[in-house]
Chains A and B, each alone.
Chain A
Amino acid sequence: MSIPPVEEAAPAVLVPHWLSAADRTEVERAVRTALAGAPVHPVAAIHLGEVLTELHVAAAREAVWPAPVARVRRATGWGEDVLPVRLSAVELASVLSLPGLAPVARDALTGGRSR
Chain B
Amino acid sequence: MSGTVFGAPTGLLQRLRRTEVGVTDLREAVAGLQDAAAGSGLRLGIVDGAGRGPLLDLQEAGRRTRVNLAELAVEMTRAAVPATPEGVTAALGAWLAHRPVPDSVAASVGFAVLDWTDPRACVLGWRVVVAREGLLAPWRPSREATLPAVHRTRSSALGRSAVLESAVRLVGPVALWTVPGVQGGDTALLVEPERMLAEMAAQGLRLREAHLVVTPGRPVACAETGVARRLVAEATEACATVPWRELPDLGWA
Contact = CB atoms under 8 A, between A and B. Distances in A.
Interface of A: 7, 11, 14, 16, 50, 52-57, 59-61, 63-65, 67-68, 86
Given A53-B172, A67-B2, A61 B229 contact: no
Nearest to A54: B230
Between B172, B176, B221, the greatest number of chain A beta carbons within 10 A of the residue's beta carbon is seen for B172
B237 interface: yes
Contacts of A54: 230
B25 to A, nearest CB: 32
A53 B174 CA distance: 9
Given A53-B227, A65-B218, A60 B176 contact: yes
Interface of B: 2, 169, 171-174, 176, 213, 215, 218-219, 221, 223, 225-227, 229-231, 233-237, 239
Contacts, number: 64
Contact of B171 (A14, A16, A63): A63
24 contacts: A11-B233, A14-B234, A50-B230, A53-B173, A53-B227, A54-B230, A56-B173, A56-B174, A57-B172, A60-B171, A60-B172, A60-B174, A60-B231, A61-B231, A63-B221, A64-B215, A64-B218, A64-B239, A65-B215, A65-B235, A65-B237, A67-B2, A67-B237, A68-B236
A52 B172 contact: yes
A19 B101 CA distance: 45
Given A11-B229, A64-B219, A65-B215, A55 B234 contact: no
Nearest to B213: A64
A54 B172 CA distance: 9
Contacts of B233: 11, 14, 86
Given A7-B225, A64-B213, 4 more contacts: A14-B230, A60-B172, A64-B221, A68-B236
Given A11-B229, A53-B227, A60 B234 contact: no
